[in-house]
């Protein structure tokens, strides 16, 4: 088993509330085990540039309650090139970094795989609001983002009620409709429109007309950004034209990526951060830490990314060739479980929305 002397921790891709709790957990667990920790700033850019600082226990105090990432985060196209990758490896040698915990999304995990293949073992932690990593039930930041949507939409509802309006609200999620669907239910929206599910615009228009006749004042329609940038504004105009209900469009955008992480995100980030270090020190790498049925476990990054493609129906030729029948069966079961969870939420949303 490899003995670690000094590991690095970084955050990459879109930031997410709870990343700080994960940074803290990684740092404290490693220090507790007598291994030094280097904070790598600005994601893979900091790894290329050597924007790195040793962390003590105190460096990560007073951060668990803050949103964003105290290590900063970014997207680094240079890291995808062999030249950039070699610079990153050289930085690891220079600073004596012999392992890395990378907190981010699937792009970040691809980078972690590339580093592992070149001799720097990496473990990934899923930190992004979208919840679009199929191997884990939840990503760090997802819960906080949804709670922020709740607060924002509750406010919109107040003013919609006073003015008898409809608010069409677009929320982030990239290609995943999880945020929109779940908050559609919990804000009591008339509809949650996401790219994973069919949308019947005529039925929505009829529902709004009928409810207005029955005296309903406010209408909330949640739209996931995966529907496309122009979808929400255009739908708003169509709703107003077809129903006569005055309508306004609101894009919550990055607002839901900030703010204090919820209890749930802090707890999961703490558990994942600690487990990431345990796994790394137990000689495991090229893995992503996951939460399934409230258990923290790990899964091979290649497996996780293939699983994502299977879930999205984007498997490429040969994708499954290197997996055993048992592994493919496991992937298929996870895809089915996730699809069933989505279908069940869609059923609740459809039944309760008026």
Q: Which residues are catalytic?
A: 130
We find the least distance from the C-beta atom of residue 110 to ligand ADP, in angstroms, to be 4
Residue-wise burial string across 3-27, b where 16 or more C-beta atoms lie within 10 A, e elsewhere: ebebbbbbbbbbbbbbbbbbbbbbb
By CB atoms closer than 10 A (0-12, 13-18, 19+), residue 73 is buried
Tokens 């997996």 appear where?
323
Angle 189-190-192 (CA atoms, 0-180°, nearest 5)? 70
Give the residue with the Cβ less far from ligand F6P, 178 or 300: 178
Give the residue with the Cβ less far from ligand ADP, 44 or 281: 44
Instruction: Sketch the per residue contact string, 245 through 274, with ligand F6P: x for CB under 6 A, - otherwise.
Output: ------------x-----------------
By beta carbon distance, the residue nearest ligand F6P is 14
121 binds, among ligand F6P, ligand ADP, none (CB under 5 to 8 A by kind): none
14 near ligand F6P, judged by CB under 6 A: yes
Give the separation between CA 282 and CA 275, rounded to whole angstroms: 10
Nearest-10 Cα torsion for 306, 312, 316, 319? 20
Which residue of 41, 44, 95, 231 would you call a contact of ligand ADP, by CB under 6 A? 44
Give the residue with the Cβ less far from ligand F6P, 128 or 290: 128
Give the residue with the Cβ less far from ligand F6P, 14 or 261: 14
114 near ligand ADP, judged by CB under 6 A: yes
Give the residue with the Cβ less far from ligand ADP, 108 or 183: 108
Q: Is 214 helix (H, G, I), strand (E, B) or coil?
A: coil
Give the residue with the Cβ less far from ligand ADP, 14 or 184: 14
The first and second tokens of residue 7, run together, are 């590991």
Give the separation between CA 77 and CA 143, rounded to whole angstroms: 29
12 binds, among ligand ADP, ligand F6P, none (CB under 5 to 8 A by kind): ligand ADP
- Alpha helix segments (H runs only) across 81-198: 82-95, 106-117, 142-163, 178-186
79 binds, among ligand F6P, ligand ADP, none (CB under 5 to 8 A by kind): ligand ADP
The first and second tokens of residue 240, run together, are 């107003």
128 near ligand F6P, judged by CB under 6 A: yes
173 binds, among ligand ADP, ligand F6P, none (CB under 5 to 8 A by kind): ligand F6P
Give the separation between CA 244 and CA 312, rounded to whole angstroms: 37
Tokens 């930085």 appear where?
91
107 binds, among ligand F6P, ligand ADP, none (CB under 5 to 8 A by kind): ligand ADP
Among the candidate windows 59-67, 166-174, 180-188, 227-235, which touches ligand F6P by CB under 6 A?
Answer: 166-174
Instruction: Sketch the per residue contact string, 198 through 237, with ligand F6P: x for CB under 6 A, - otherwise.
Output: ---------------------------x------------
**Phi and psi, residue 54, nearest 5°:** -65, 140
We find the least distance from the C-beta atom of residue 173 to ligand ADP, in angstroms, to be 12
We find the least distance from the C-beta atom of residue 106 to ligand F6P, in angstroms, to be 10
106 near ligand ADP, judged by CB under 6 A: yes
Q: Is 321 helix (H, G, I), strand (E, B) or coil?
A: coil
- Alpha helix segments (H runs only) across the chain: 19-32, 43-49, 82-95, 106-117, 142-163, 178-186, 201-213, 231-243, 263-281, 301-311, 325-352
* Contacts with ligand ADP, residue ranges (CB under 6 A): 12-14, 44, 75-76, 79-80, 104-108, 110-111, 114, 128
């Amino acid at each position: 088993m490899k003995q670690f002397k000094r590991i690095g921790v970084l955050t990459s891709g879109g930031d997410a509330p709870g990343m700080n709790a994960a940074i803290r957990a990684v740092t404290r667990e490693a220090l507790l085990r007598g291994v030094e920790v280097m904070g790598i700033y600005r994601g893979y850019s900091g790894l290329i540039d050597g924007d790195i600082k040793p962390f003590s226990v105190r460096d990560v105090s007073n951060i668990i309650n803050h949103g964003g990432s105290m290590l900063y985060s970014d997207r680094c196209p240079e890291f995808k090139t062999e030249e950039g990758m070699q610079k990153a490896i050289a930085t690891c040698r220079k600073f004596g970094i012999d392992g890395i915990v990378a907190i981010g999304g699937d792009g970040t995990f691809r980078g972690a795989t590339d580093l592992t293949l070149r001799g720097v073992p990496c473990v990934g932690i899923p930190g992004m609001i979208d919840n679009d990593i199929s191997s884990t039930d939840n990503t760090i930041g997802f819960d906080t983002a949804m709670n922020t949507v709740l607060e924002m939409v509750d406010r919109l509802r107040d003013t919609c009620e006073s003015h008898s309006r409809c608010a069409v609200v677009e929320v982030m999620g990239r290609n995943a409709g999880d945020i929109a669907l779940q908050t559609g239910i919990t804000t009591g929206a008339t509809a949650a429109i996401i790219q994973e599910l069919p949308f019947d615009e005529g039925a929505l228009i009829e529902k709004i007309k009928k409810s207005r006749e029955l005296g309903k004042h406010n209408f909330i329609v949640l739209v996931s950004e995966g529907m496309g940038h122009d979808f929400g504004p255009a739908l708003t105009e169509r709703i107003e034209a077809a129903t006569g209900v005055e309508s306004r469009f609101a894009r919550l955008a990055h607002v839901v990526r900030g703010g204090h992480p919820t209890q749930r995100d802090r707890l999961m980030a703490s558990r994942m951060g600690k487990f990431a270090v345990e796994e790394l020190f137990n000689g495991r790498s090229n893995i992503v830490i996951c939460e399934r049925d409230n258990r923290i476990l790990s899964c091979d990054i290649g497996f996780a990314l293939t699983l994502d493609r299977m879930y999205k129906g984007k498997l490429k030729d040969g994708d499954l060739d290197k997996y055993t029948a048992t592994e493919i069966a496991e992937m298929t079961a996870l895809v089915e479980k996730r699809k069933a969870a989505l279908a069940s939420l869609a059923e609740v949303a459809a039944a309760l929305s008026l």
